[in-house]
Structure 1
Amino acid sequence: MRDHARSTRLRRSTAATALLACLALLAGCNDDTEGGGSKNATDAAKRPAAKPTPTWDTRPGSVASVGDSITRGFDACSLLSDCPEVSWSTGSDVDSVAARLLPGDAKQRTWNFAKTGAVMAELPAQLRAATVKRPELVTVMIGANDACQDTVAEMTPVADFRADFSAALTGLRRALPKTQVYVASVPDLKRLWSEGRKDPIRRQVWKLGICPSMLRDAQADHDRANDRRDQVQRRVQEYNSALRDVCTRDVLCRYNGAVYDYRFTGDELSEWDWFHPNKEGQRKLADLAYQVINRRDDA
């Protein structure tokens, strides 16, 4: 009897031990599943690795420029004519951005798609044309003509300006994900008026219709004239805020507010219109751009 009871207890103990072992094993499996063990490891293996953040290349191999008359070198070499060879961005007869970045003969690796008189609404088309060349760097300087209208009421609304710039940059990014973009701020038009109004010859030239919203009646000092100039200046500042905001959302876009802050002198402005930069003014714009383009991300 005692042997039979002992045998029964042994069988029960063995069964209990086996049951406990099974339960422990099951619990372990459940813990791995719930705690992120083998299942999470499998899921992690299936997930694609995070893409590295693009870094700015201070030595791009090609440059395309877009924008308006300033980038075309208008009135820098002769009266009422473009002079792209002295363009601050891609010019070959001035120490331009392209000349500094691209050693040797860079003519086959630079393109100027800017157009005299262009406004922001034309930028998407300019950038579409530039994408065909697949440049590694695109420089953008546009917006003065959006403010330089016959009246302040005709200036481009800020919302439209922002939307067109955003669409242009989005289109470029879809076509060329790795192309870098440098964006110059719109110059301070009121500063140009303040500098040029001192000369009677300049005032006569301005009467031909150069930026009338700012330069018309250059000597007028009544409240209406001052208010008009202030409205143009505020609009330029709002344009620059839009340029900065849109650009800073793109990791490969750099905005430069120093162009607006720069105080151009008479020696840096065209002798024909005292409004557009001459060759020396173009060189200064290249200086301002190169400082930003050549800045390392970790600087």
Structure 2
Amino acid sequence: MRKTGHRSLAVLAVLSAAVLGLTGCDAVGGNAPGPAGTGTGRVKPTPTPVWDRSPESVAAVGDSITRGFDACSVLSDCPEVSWATGSSEQVDSLAVRLLGEREAAARSWNYAVTGARMGDLAGQMAQAALRRPELVTVMAGANDACRATTAAMTPVTDFRAQFEEAMRTLRGALPKAQVYVASVPDLKRLWSQGRTSALGKQVWQLGVCPSMLGDPDALDAAATQRRETVRKRVEDYNTVLKDVCAEDRRCRFDGGAVYAYRFGTQQLSRWDWFHPSIDGQARLAEIAYRTVTAKSG
């Protein structure tokens, strides 16, 4: 009996130790929630995504493309067909696609200026920030390449500093505003399409992008080199836009979609054969909407 008693005590001790061991660990499994009120395994709330795919207001900054220049009449702005904020049913602008026609009229604003260069963007950002938009669209850089000569084009280092300044200006006022950045179009592609129009070439003589469009029919080595120089500069600008945007978690670059888009004669102004037509504006709106509403940037 004495030995049996000792054996019983030993078994009891082992069982007690096992129970104590379980109470010190997760007795209901490593992935299961703990008892109510303990805080262990409590379900965490789903974090709010950094990028909102359905912003409720839009402000646009940039140059003549965002102003709808030459889309409705020669050498004139036509903001109602702007890809970013226009009201035209033919375009179905980004603002209309995101907000609906009625809300877009009340909650979208266009601060782009025909002829603007990247150095002007900070001032436009400051104006746009006063409206406190949830999304700001950027399309700028073509005029930095469209200069009287290739030597007059904005240096890439200056372009970068100016874009960074513009982003700092916006962030100083609106830390959580989202930014959509469109790439600069392939200006050489526009030249190759527009040079087939006698009227277009006449309008080009009025000073439309002379670095690319000057002497449009010249195909000698110097002219070819000039156009390639402009094209390379545009590609460098797009690299800057991509890199600077990547440093901001609330910024989305279009991935070069506008640069890669093959504008045809239907997408170019019938007056200057260089700026987007109404149809071209619609294509830009499609690219922007696809980028803004994508599940990931």
Find the counterpart in structure 1 of residue 193 from structure 2. Answer: 195
Find the counterpart in structure 1 of residue 275 from structure 2. Answer: 276
* Amino acid across the alignment from 1:260: Y
Q: Which moved more, 1:103-112 or 1:148-157?
A: 103-112
2:111 equivalent to 1:102: no
Between structures 1 and 2, the one with greater helix share: 1
Match of 2:56 among 58, 61, 66: 61
1:53-99: CA deviation from partner (whole Å, max 9, x where unpaired): 85211100000000000000001111111100100000011300000
Find the counterpart in structure 2 of residue 229 from structure 1. Answer: 227
* Amino acid across the alignment from 1:240: N
TM-score normalised by the chain length of structure 2: 0.81
* Amino acid across the alignment from 1:163: A
Find the counterpart in structure 2 of residue 70 from structure 1. Answer: 65
1:273-296: CA deviation from partner (whole Å, max 9, x where unpaired): 001101100000000111100101
| Cα contact 1:182–1:254 (8 A) shared by 2 | yes
Find the counterpart in structure 2 of residue 156 from structure 1. Answer: 154
2:261 equivalent to 1:262: yes
Aligned to 1:100, the other structure's residue is in SS state helix
Find the counterpart in structure 1 of residue 17 from structure 2. Answer: none
* Amino acid across the alignment from 1:279: I
Aligned to 2:235, the other structure's residue is in SS state helix
Aligned to 2:106, the other structure's residue is in SS state helix
Q: Find the aligned partners of 2:76 and 2:107 in 1 and give their Cα distance.
A: 24
Find the counterpart in structure 1 of residue 141 from structure 2. Answer: 143
Unaligned runs of 5+ in 1: 1-51
Aligned to 1:156, the other structure's residue is in SS state coil
Q: Find the aligned partners of 2:107 and 2:144 in 1 and give their Cα distance.
A: 30
Identity of aligned residues (%): 61
Find the counterpart in structure 2 of residue 287 from structure 1. Answer: 286
| Cα contact 1:139–1:182 (8 A) shared by 2 | yes
| Cα contact 2:197–2:273 (8 A) shared by 1 | no
Q: Find the aligned partners of 2:169 and 2:295 in 1 and give their Cα distance.
A: 26
| Cα contact 1:137–1:180 (8 A) shared by 2 | yes
* Pairing of 1:1-299 with structure 2 (within 5 A): 55-93=50-88, 94-105=91-102, 106-256=104-254, 257-297=256-296
Q: Which moved more, 1:78-87 or 1:200-209?
A: 200-209
Q: Root-mean-square deviation (CA), in Å?
A: 1.2
Aligned to 1:121, the other structure's residue is in SS state helix
Cα distance change on mapping 1:78 and 1:65 into 2, 3 Å: same
Q: Find the aligned partners of 2:294 and 2:141 in 1 and give their Cα distance.
A: 25
Q: 1:200 offset after TM fit, Å?
A: 2.5
Unaligned runs of 5+ in 2: 1-46
Kindly tell me the number of residue pairs found equivalent between the two proteins.
247
Aligned to 1:64, the other structure's residue is in SS state strand
Q: Find the aligned partners of 1:182 and 1:279 in 2 and give their Cα distance.
A: 21
Aligned to 2:66, the other structure's residue is in SS state helix
| Cα contact 2:184–2:258 (8 A) shared by 1 | yes
TM-score normalised by the chain length of structure 1: 0.81
* Amino acid across the alignment from 1:153: A
Structure 1 stretches of 4+ moved >3 Å: none
| Cα contact 1:54–1:251 (8 A) shared by 2 | no
Q: Find the aligned partners of 1:130 and 1:207 in 2 and give their Cα distance.
A: 34
